[in-house]
Structure 1
Amino acid sequence: MHYRRDIDGLRALAILPVLLFHAHVPGFGGGYVGVDIFFVISGYLITGIIAREIDEGRFSLVRFYERRFRRIVPALGLMILVVLGISALLYLPGDLEGVPRSALAATLFASNLWFFTDTGYFAGGADVKPLLHTWSLAVEEQYYIGFPILLMVMARIAPRWRTGVVLIIAAGSLALSIAMQRDTSGFAFYLLPARAWELLAGALLALGVVPALRVRWLRELVAWSGIAAIALAVGCYDRGTLFPGIAAIAPVLGAAALIHSAPGTSAGRLLGWSPLVGVGLVSYSLYLWHWPVIVFTEYATDMAVAGWTCVAAIGWSFIAAILSWRFVERPFRDSQAMPARTIFRFTGATMALLCGLSLALLAAGPWPSRFSPTVLAQAAGRNDISPERKRCHDIFARSAPPCVLGAAVPPDAMLWGDSHGVELAYALALEAKAQGRALVQRTTSSCPPVLGYDDPKDARCAAANRAAFAALRADPGIRRIYLAAFWANGDFDEPGFVARLDRTIAAIRAEGREVVLIGPVPPQPFDVPRRLAHLARAGQQAQGEGVVRSWVDGRTIHLRALFARWQARGIRLIDPVAALCDGRHCAIERGGKPLYFDSHHLSVAGARLVMARGG
């Protein structure tokens, strides 16, 4: 296969949106589709090589995996090694333990399986997963375990059916991806069955399923349409887009259109522009290094990269990528300097070393001796959660009966809400138990207690809210309803949503029940226990302060506009902002205890403070 500069330019068109998306650069909300473009390119190039060698009777699985190891392992192994070292120096207990697990999975090309099992609501955010991006490499390598064998088998038993079989598998994978696009488990995102069609789209091009375009103007049209499709996805998609599934079709077809039609066109000349080709040449190393650079920068500063830190992170990503390409990728691709036997030995030794280091770090556990007792005490705030969280939260999804907390008596109250209500329910239960009372906890992650709220990505919310309202109607003994949610998340402060909340309150009152609205918890721009631990490590714990109060008020302006009216109607209001904030800033710790266990969920200490002062 002759070298095509435009494909290296297309690689740049894939990696740059990914980099800028992860660096939070405005205008690149859909930059994650660059991974899908990489899948198409890989499927096209690798299938072209495999099919040609099979047709010529000279394909060898050993030689194929030798090429894969040359391409993938050296730079990946170095990156994992550096990530393990920096994590051991930088990460606090509670954050460190996940890194060697993911390193072990990445070394064995199974990180997509690991992250699929680790996608729970509180499994730890992407900001503590410096190897999260290796999921896509795992998908590719799992694909290339079976795909060459499929082509070999087809060549032997039914060569004329080769393209048809690949087309059927691709169609099935696409259908699965679309069918599961609303699934919140991560299956469609992380696992090969719902991603294979993207690699197979490139494979079908290489197998000649699409006839060549002979007319120049048509090639120009198709090529520029491909660029437009990619640009549309990068610019118009965001984190809220249902993806993959139907939305993945645009960038995949866009990449396929460019691969098929770009040569000899103005779009092809654009992709062959030297700066783009240069970025494309280092795109693999840039993909490997950019994510750890951003994650470690944000972890060390307790802030998302922005401004000069964003520029610095992007700059260091390019420096690391260029050095990796020059001194790692290129030498190992030289078959004269590095014969096949050397590559296989190197791969085995690298995987053994990384597995051994990962297992050693796992055996060391949280390794608390790296930090002082003061630092550890602040970091331990992440564990100040309701002891009933695991048992009582998200019970609707498990079809389990709701938890009754407090005294062993019939409940006279219900807390209805999302995950923000869990620790508040526990704080209320402590008070209720002391009074010989009990309450029911009905909390569902990311589902505010608002009738008519229907998250397009999660059908649980509407059903869970209907079930909660039906339960309170069916139990006349429940006289008081507490409503709690992440009201300040930025999505719930719009007039339509607030109007639905108003109607929900009216519906509860129409049942003759008392309503207690627990207002917005001020979200912080950092993980609070981690921030306090970092300050303690630097001897600056007294400087810890939270978000500016005016920012919280502005973020909930439509909701707060109704507070006075609701109170005039006899609705009790518990306002965490009033409990946690002074005239300027909102507190993040009291008496040496973090008031949050992450960036926006109150710890038990925080919940008890709010309930004690807010009533």
Structure 2
Amino acid sequence: MHGAAPPGQSKAESEAVTCYRSDIDGLRALAILPVLLFHAHIPGFSGGYVGVDIFFVISGYLITGIIAREVDGGTFSLVRFYERRFRRIIPALSLMILAVLAAAAWLYLPGDLEGVPRSALAATLFAANLWFFTDTGYFAGGADVKPLLHTWSLGVEEQFYIGLPILLLLLARFAPRRRSIVIGIVALLSLGLAIAFQRDTSGFTFYLLPARAWELLAGSLLALGAVPMPRNRALREAIAWAGLMAVSLAVFCYDRDTVFPGIAAMAPVLGAAALLHCAPGTTAGRVLTLPPLTATGLLSYSLYLWHWPLIVFTEYATDAPLSGWTRLAVIAAAFLAAFLSWRYVERPFRDHRRFSSRAIFRFTAAAMALLCLLSTALMAAGGWPQRFPPHALRLAESRADISPERGRCHDTFARSAAPCILGAPVKPDAMLWGDSHGVELAYALSLRAAAGGRSLVERTTSSCPPVLGYDPPKDPRCARANRAAFDAIRADPGIRQVYLVAFWANGQFDDPAFVAALDRTIGAIRAQGREVVLIGPVPPQPFDVPRRLAHLALSGDPGRATGAARSAIEGRTVHLRALFARLRRNGVQVVEPMAALCTDGHCALMRDGRPLYFDSHHLSVAGARLVVNQSRLR
């Protein structure tokens, strides 16, 4: 999931920089609204996730201004600084985390619940970004079961504000005239790191502070006066409108395939910086001060906190993405929750007359201790399976019906490990080459191979279809992994048969250029004198299959679950299917999983009481064995 950062600071904190600027609240609205609409799947906001960058710039600008003013005046206190941060962040965050723990304990199946208290503990300790960076793999769960995923950005901010005050204090003492230069150098180093690793697939540039710091420091440089204010009114107008256009371009033109963050993040970051710097007194600034925008900006922190859990829990309960009236209801609920949180939590705790400094620190300690205790207790419960009947648990636990060799044999190229040989302890005469869809099929094939005294090599790399020349902008592994697989085929004459497997029905691979590259790859393998077996599309389902079956088991008969329509899958693979037909005519064996899985107009989800998928589109071992056995693959 592309996430969102916490909206900047309060009105009082804005006043601490110079005076209250309503255009900053408007800019917060232009950040949080795209994030909300992107997460709610509203068409047209495919780049709404760039709100994180806008918020980072605003935060860097406001907080640095506060610190620098107090450091220069000799009044800065770390205790007072963190008191302000606690007043702003902790009360609303604590309430949201508490509500998430309660809702997840009531709603989530055991396998999905296990990750929630861990993320709650990390969010409480402002280390959510570190947790989600390491929380990877098929059983970590996707964004759709992580109601606290959005708290990663709070971790980035608070980690930034551990180091920034200390840095500014040191610069004030030892290099007061070089403050902006040093901050600028640090920002450039961070930007360089973000660009250098922008195609890294580990999440380093997305989740961790070193590659995100430049976005906050862009605001810091404005607050420190490093960028001169244009004196010409027309130039200020042009810069402000250019900033608004840059932000809009990112929101409306970026999408999930954009390489981000990195160079692409410069548009929203510089656009937000341009608006912060030049918007006051311009027509663009007047747009930002429109009452609906400033009102939304005041709610932006609480709206940010509540919108994502509401979306996640609604989609979990309904086993479907938000759409129609449900989507509108969730958006309305997010605004209502945000208003109540702002009115009855945020505002009272910012009032020094109602909560003294000592009371804020006591509340912070008590709230964090309570959340840590509750999170630890839920972690110890191990998913709390006693909440559900055994028949529902059996279906939910089928998410673990995976290849026992998945951890050892999948993504070996990315780990610089030797490819696995599965089956009998003999030299392999076959290779399965593909993406993650091939893992369980490789295991099912290995069982048949072992019975016949044979073995095969598994070469599977996540999200990398077995197509030479496939080089997606966001994943540089694929081209190298595929070239290594082909070179291994060419170097080993003992490999007589090559199985090709991928998520062909994902909606992206039915492109004529991709289909032509697949055709060339098959031709190159056959030119080496090897037999090609192309395993066609596994029909994806619109929901997590074990979860859907378990939910149906709780409310009735899981046997009435309906899978995707076969015609819909065929409609998404028109160009691929034309290639498959031609390959058959040319002697290539093409195996159709749908022949085994879709015996009528819809595709099956379960056979003999066992789910055929372990998520929404990966076959379970039961599903893979069904395909292999009915296709009579050897």
TM-score, length of structure 1 as denominator length = 0.99
Letter in structure 2 aligned against 1:342: A
- In 2, Cα distance between the equivalents of 1:407 and 1:119? 32
- In 2, Cα distance between the equivalents of 1:128 and 1:312? 20
- In 2, Cα distance between the equivalents of 1:250 and 1:308? 34
Letter in structure 1 aligned against 2:130: L
Letter in structure 2 aligned against 1:24: H
Structure 1 contact 29–234 (Cα < 8 Å) conserved: yes
The one of 416, 423, 429 aligned to 1:406: 423
- In 1, Cα distance between the equivalents of 2:443 and 2:358? 61
- In 2, Cα distance between the equivalents of 1:238 and 1:66? 38
Alignment of 1:245-264 (within 5 A): 245-264=262-281
Q: What is aligned with 1:185?
A: 202
After superposition, give the CA deviation of every residue in 1:104-142 in whole Å (9 maximum; x if it has no partner). Answer: 000000000000111335531000110000011110000
After superposition, give the CA deviation of every residue in 1:180-219 in whole Å (9 maximum; x if it has no partner). Answer: 1011111110011110111110010010011112221111
Measured after TM superposition, the shift of residue 505 of structure 1 is: 1.1
- In 1, Cα distance between the equivalents of 2:173 and 2:528? 72
Q: Match of 2:226, SS?
A: coil
Measured after TM superposition, the shift of residue 456 of structure 1 is: 1.8
After superposition, give the CA deviation of every residue in 1:4-40 in whole Å (9 maximum; x if it has no partner). Answer: 0000000000000000011111111110110110000
- In 2, Cα distance between the equivalents of 1:283 and 1:167? 29
- In 2, Cα distance between the equivalents of 1:138 and 1:327? 24
Q: What is aligned with 1:225?
A: 242
Q: What is aligned with 2:3?
A: none
Is 1:605 matched with 2:622? yes
Measured after TM superposition, the shift of residue 562 of structure 1 is: 2.0
Q: What is aligned with 1:383?
A: 400
Alignment of 1:142-153 (within 5 A): 142-153=159-170
Q: What is aligned with 1:304?
A: 321
The one of 92, 100, 111 aligned to 1:75: 92
Alignment of 1:279-290 (within 5 A): 279-290=296-307
Letter in structure 2 aligned against 1:83: V
Q: What is aligned with 1:195?
A: 212
After superposition, give the CA deviation of every residue in 1:530-561 in whole Å (9 maximum; x if it has no partner). Answer: 01011111113122111111110011111111
Letter in structure 2 aligned against 1:284: Y
Q: What is aligned with 2:8?
A: none
Q: What is aligned with 2:114?
A: 97
The one of 51, 63, 70 aligned to 2:68: 51
The one of 448, 451, 457 aligned to 1:431: 448
Q: What is aligned with 1:559?
A: 576
Is 1:489 matched with 2:506? yes
Alignment of 1:215-614 (within 5 A): 215-614=232-631
4+ residue segments displaced more than 4 Å: none
After superposition, give the CA deviation of every residue in 1:278-327 in whole Å (9 maximum; x if it has no partner). Answer: 00000000000000000001111111111111111111111110000000
Q: Match of 2:595, SS?
A: helix
Q: What is aligned with 1:64?
A: 81
Q: Match of 2:111, SS?
A: coil
Structure 1: 5+ residue stretches without partners: none
- In 2, Cα distance between the equivalents of 1:77 and 1:284? 13
RMSD: 0.9
Structure 1 contact 574–611 (Cα < 8 Å) conserved: no
Question: How many residues of Structure 1 are paired with residues of Structure 2 in the alignment?
Answer: 615
Which stretch of structure 1 is more off in the superposition, 278-287 or 556-565? 556-565
Q: Match of 1:562, SS?
A: helix
Q: Match of 1:561, SS?
A: helix
After superposition, give the CA deviation of every residue in 1:127-177 in whole Å (9 maximum; x if it has no partner). Answer: 011000001111000011110111111111221111111111111111111
Q: Match of 1:95, SS?
A: helix
Letter in structure 1 aligned against 2:424: A
Is 1:23 matched with 2:40? yes
- In 2, Cα distance between the equivalents of 1:594 and 1:565? 33
Q: What is aligned with 1:37?
A: 54
Is 1:161 matched with 2:178? yes
Measured after TM superposition, the shift of residue 436 of structure 1 is: 1.3
- In 2, Cα distance between the equivalents of 1:277 and 1:45? 17
Q: What is aligned with 1:214?
A: 231
Measured after TM superposition, the shift of residue 611 of structure 1 is: 1.0
Structure 1 contact 163–209 (Cα < 8 Å) conserved: yes
- In 2, Cα distance between the equivalents of 1:526 and 1:413? 34
Structure 1 contact 73–347 (Cα < 8 Å) conserved: yes
Structure 1 contact 528–597 (Cα < 8 Å) conserved: yes
- In 2, Cα distance between the equivalents of 1:476 and 1:161? 65
Q: Match of 1:416, SS?
A: strand
Is 1:84 matched with 2:101? yes
Measured after TM superposition, the shift of residue 563 of structure 1 is: 2.1
* Identity level (%): 74
Structure 2 contact 115–140 (Cα < 8 Å) conserved: no
- In 2, Cα distance between the equivalents of 1:238 and 1:296? 24
- In 2, Cα distance between the equivalents of 1:142 and 1:200? 13
Q: Match of 2:498, SS?
A: strand
Structure 2 contact 193–210 (Cα < 8 Å) conserved: yes
Is 1:124 matched with 2:141? yes
- In 2, Cα distance between the equivalents of 1:194 and 1:541? 46
- In 2, Cα distance between the equivalents of 1:274 and 1:459? 46
Q: Match of 2:533, SS?
A: strand
Measured after TM superposition, the shift of residue 402 of structure 1 is: 1.2
- In 2, Cα distance between the equivalents of 1:105 and 1:602? 32
After superposition, give the CA deviation of every residue in 1:68-89 in whole Å (9 maximum; x if it has no partner). Answer: 0000000000000000000001
- In 1, Cα distance between the equivalents of 2:22 and 2:213? 26
Q: Match of 1:517, SS?
A: strand
Structure 2 contact 87–349 (Cα < 8 Å) conserved: yes
Measured after TM superposition, the shift of residue 435 of structure 1 is: 1.2
- In 2, Cα distance between the equivalents of 1:400 and 1:138? 33
- In 2, Cα distance between the equivalents of 1:423 and 1:599? 14
Measured after TM superposition, the shift of residue 478 of structure 1 is: 1.4
Structure 1 contact 419–446 (Cα < 8 Å) conserved: yes
Q: Match of 1:94, SS?
A: helix
Q: What is aligned with 2:19?
A: 2
TM-score, length of structure 2 as denominator length = 0.96
Letter in structure 1 aligned against 2:111: G
Letter in structure 1 aligned against 2:100: V
Measured after TM superposition, the shift of residue 239 of structure 1 is: 0.7
Letter in structure 2 aligned against 1:168: I
- In 1, Cα distance between the equivalents of 2:94 and 2:479? 46
Structure 1 contact 549–582 (Cα < 8 Å) conserved: no
After superposition, give the CA deviation of every residue in 1:441-464 in whole Å (9 maximum; x if it has no partner). Answer: 111111111112112221211111
Structure 1 contact 121–445 (Cα < 8 Å) conserved: no
Is 1:175 matched with 2:163? no
Structure 2 contact 449–456 (Cα < 8 Å) conserved: yes
